[in-house]
Structure 1
Amino acid sequence: MSKVLIIGAGGVGGVVTHKCAQAKDVITGITLASRTESKCKAIAAQIDFPVKTAQVNADNVPELAELIRKEQPKLVINVALPYQDLTIMDACLATGVDYLDTANYEPLDTAKFEYSWQWAYQDRFREKGLMALLGSGFDPGVTNVYTALAAKKYLDEVQEIDIIDANAGSHGQPFATNFNPEINIREVTATCRHWENGQFVESPPLSTKHVFDFPEGIGPMNIYRLYHEEMESLVKHIPTIKKAQFWMTFSDNYLKHLEVLQNVGMTRIDEVEFNGQKIVPIQFLKALLPDPGSLGPLTKGKTCIGVIARGIKDGKRKQVYIYNICDHEACYREVKSQAISYTTGVPAVVGAIMMLTGKWHKPGVWNMEQFDPELFLETLGPMGLPTVVVDGGEWPEL
């Protein structure tokens, strides 16, 4: 019997719960926990599978450990906030349970996300015979797997990667983020870093722009370079990579609103005093913006997320483009969510299946590219995210 405990009842938590319920041959029990149990109950009510719910403060290790001991899962799936990764990992260590997340740790008071804090748990997990799988979303996650696939099957040496993420969907709102507004805005406004010639090179956020012609009818869109966490692990674990960049699409409307919010201080993450109380502007902004979970029925269009990998094959320079296309409306019909949450939630469940079936299982703390990519992709497609490979072809140098 493989029971899972899912922590986090946002948009991704909803998708993870739906998809765990579909994986009945592997996952036989589900508990969904959040700070607000009513959100868990609302998700459970959508699903034709018995889902237990619970209230838990994911910042509190003893409370998390008590819940884990009560429910006795084989795996904890963390889709709460990145600030809570370490407390949930601590609780897993205390209770002897495997761990999986979709985003790396980020301190609450510093807009900086990196793997160092979680990699530091390597010895503790290994010594207890436990596994922690980091970043089992899409980017990070599937993009790591795509890069590993390029290295395994299509290139003898991967030298350059461009990770390109397009949301070609529209929700009709003046300004909204497709996932947690606080995390989204912190990520987009952070100093850009890309890997080149053995080091990370910094540049102002969103200062480098190209037009990229996306496949399958999406067409040309503006893409902007920003820092994203999978580059940190990929250049460590695939050391032949000489250049790594991450690109994302943003509409002119999104960037216009974001610039104004920055200029007036609404994206600040430090406390300010207002009417005798301390508030954090970006948290107040989050309360004003549409809940990403409410965008599902409104969003139309597609996402396209993939990796262009360039390098050497049989002594010649070659490139391969590996990507997925996901339709917002199809996602909503299936799991009551838009494609941004879907493309994060489905890989989390596939990662869980890899761990629970033993296809990917090794004590310690690991990133996605450190395991066999083909085993993962064999399950990812039937779960709803098929992979397209364009072997060769001409794609622009970015």
Structure 2
Amino acid sequence: MSEHVDVVQGASPNEVRDPVVKHEIKKATVWLGLACAIALFVLLIQPLLIIFAGLVFAAMLDGGVRLLGRVLKIGRGWRLLIVVISVLAFLIGTFYLTGVQVVQQVTELQSTLTMQFNRLTGWLSQMGVMPGRSDLNSILQQAMGSVGKLTSWVGTAAGALTSLFMIMVIGLFLAMDPRVYERGVQWMVPMDNRQQFAITLRRMGETMRRLLAGRLIGMAAEGVLTWIALAIGGVPMALLLGIITGVLAFIPNIGAFVSGVLMVAVGFSAGYETGIWAIVTYFVVQTFDGYVLIPMVAKRTVDLPPALTLGAQILASALFGVMGLALADPMTAMIKVALERSSERTEEDDEAGAEAEAAAAGL
């Protein structure tokens, strides 16, 4: 038996019946949600960069696991363990064999660069090309202060070590069972679009692995060649400069320029002939890398135009700081894959529509 109550008749003040008003409210809600999403992205850019760096590290580990799987037919977990142990053994062995020498060379490099910088600024000041030291210091302080809060967290050693630890942990968890996380991401996509989304994810993973494989090959080649060439020419701190060149080779264009400046500065600190040898070494290594190694690797990796890569690095470094500069290349590659897949889907839809129209006309 239903209970009898008095119900107020008429529309509520907050009830919108006009279709035009409803449509405008929906559009306003979409724009408001987009603005909130952009603001949230800006606020969470630091952890998002760490997560993306973890994805990059996971892709490196996954590439090693897949390569090892061609030789050893064992479980994925065991292959991942072998890859991690091999990397740790290589790093510990390298540090054990060259650790004392590298530490000494780091101290020498700092003093050498300071001395060379003072010489250069003094000569430019005498020539009237550069402002005085006090003006230069104020300009540098303003430039560093303009970076803002967005990248200030990278400046501390504790923050860098903490970020590195989190990147490694995220990468390890992702590399253990990537299918679990892939299924979770696909679950967040509407069912009608999951197949296309899965294809895009698979291509992104393949692109990331090829890109990182090419980067690692280039890093190893540049580091070893630079070390051997500088050691032959008697350039001080050849081992440290080789390591720095190899590490900076992960960042195309800008990394090569920075390593070249360091190489030339250290070379001229030991004499004019040594400086010339350092310049020749830099150009020979970069020429070999640019005209021999990179074209060979590019056939099996990602084809990114140099101007596009450099522009992405400039934008990423201005927006996200040092980590953005290091991750600009993988970001650009992922965006490139997504845009190419979107273009393919548009062409497929157009072809399907044309076939449907032709079939309808034939009937």
TM-score class normalised by the smaller sequence: under 0.3
- The structure, 1 or 2, with the larger RCO (C-alpha pairs under 8 Å, 6+ apart) is 1
| TM-score (ref. length: structure 1) | 0.23
More strand by share: 1
TM-score, reference length from structure 2? 0.25
Give 1 or 2 for the bigger CA radius of gyration: 2
